[in-house]
Amino acid sequence: MNSLLIKNGTVVTASDIQDADVYIEGEKVHTVGTDLQDKATRVIDAKGCFLFPGGIDAHTHMELPFMGTHASDDFFTGTLAGLHGGTTTIIDFAIQTQGDSLQSALNTWHEKAKGKAVGDYAFHVAVTDFNENTKKEIKSLVENQGVTSFKTFMAYKGALMLDDRQIIELMREVKKYGGMVTTHAENGDLVDVLVTENRNKGNLSPEFHPLSRPPIVEAEATGRIIDIAFEGSHPLYIVHMTCEEALNRVREATKRNQKVFVETCVQYLLLDDSVYAEADFGGAKYVMSPPLRKKKDQAALWKGITQNLIEVVATDHCPFCWDQKKMGLKDFSKIPNGAPGIENRMELMFSEGVLKNRLDIHKFVEVTSTKPAKIFGLFPKKGTIAVGADADIVIFDPDKKHTMSAKTHHMNCDYSAYEGWQVTGKCRTTILRGTVAIDEGKAFIGKGFGKYLPRKKPGEFNV
């Protein structure tokens, strides 16, 4: 059996920090301790580096068909880019086609990933057509196939959106089997009205994307889905929260002892809506839904993390190349929604979060790895460095300075949302299940190395 010894590193988890060696046998962590004997097949000296659990991005869209095109990263390029940035596991979305089954959606996404994924992966299933036939599929997906989370859209009317009654019925069915509903919270009807009004007025540039989806659109839907969940005591996870107004709806829910899991994304912590005014249609690069907000919203989200209102920082990685973005050159509502980010998340959160004292190093590990693992049924196999866990480890150089750019990133996208950003801290080596996947920017594994991860029910462990 192959073995690996990582010596002289500083092991950091969501709760502890210690100078220690890590000995790995096969795919698992065997021992964490000091002065471990050099009996491994390979030894790596991690002096001066942190050892973090492999990152878990709980919100990605690889090869997503959307708005007449496809996301430019598939499961090969996307998970490989993630490994370069310290993310060893993703949870992608298998999205139901209206009129088709949930099982068909899951099968389609398995085919997309099989033989391509380099990193490990799991699936949420997005329900876009809830009916009596769909309802009958929930039990098997949870109990037999390891899919324990189901996404609903409150926006994208006519394509992805469920109405409130469908959401209520889905929540009740999912709860029977110990699963959880996750929600894209925007008022789809209000979005449609505002988009139509702007188009009719000739307001067609990217600057009108955020104006057609103002904070009240998100706050109203957030409050509504929280109330729906409260009525039935349903577990709820809200994806990609962007603004203070929506976060305040979560804060209000805590006053009645309701727990709501909340995710934000790294772009909402670091970018603001001034980018939509970038010249030469440049604002199109940042068109995503919900849109980027104000600097005051960034401050509220950072505080929301430290106040334990926000548990997860993901990416909503859904890149489209520049020619694809230009589909909306004459109409902002035709710009494919999404941006690249999976490779940047861990390094940005360390540089802009830990080093700027917005969060401590344990919270960094928690929001990028441990909490998504716990919430979505992957812990303790994933999300920590501990005896018996998968040996997913990032050797991270906290002093290495570098510049983010589309010229050097590995995502299949011809621009970067963080072009020219000066960052301190870099993933030196990424280890996936005991195998060195990335070392000093070079990949040592390829297509098909990634494994599908059937998940436990969220209620089977202490979140």
- Tell me the fold of 3-52+384-443: Urease, subunit C; domain 1 (2.30.40)
| Start and end residues for every CATH 2.30.40.10 domain found in the chain | 3-52+384-443
Contacts of 203 (CB under 8 A, 6+ apart): 211, 332
Question: Which residues sit opposite 429 in a β-bridge?
Answer: 395, 439
Please list the residue range(s) of the chain that carry CATH number 3.20.20.140. Answer: 54-381
Model pLDDT, residue 457? 82
Amino acid identity for residue 166 in this structure: Q
Joined tokens for residue 369? 């790895």
Beta strands in 146-270 (DSSP E): 149-153, 180-184, 236-238, 261-265
pTM, rounded to two decimals: 0.97
Cα 159 from Cα 155, distance rounded (Å): 9
* pLDDT score at 341: 98
pLDDT at 158: 87
State how far the Cα of 33 lies from the Cα of 14, in Å rounded to an integer: 18
The reported pLDDT for the residue numbered 1 is: 81
Sheet bearing 55-60, strands edge to edge: 55-60, 87-95, 120-126, 149-153, 180-184, 236-238, 261-265, 312-314
Nearest to residue 221, comparing CAs of 193, 186, 190, 264? 186
Nearest to 413, CA basis, from 62, 94, 120: 62
- Among the CATH numbers 3.30.720.210, 3.40.50.80, 3.20.20.140, 3.40.30.10, which is that of 54-381? 3.20.20.140
The per-residue pLDDT for 463 is 58
Point out the residues of the chain with pLDDT beneath 50: 461
Structure tokens at 170: 């889905």
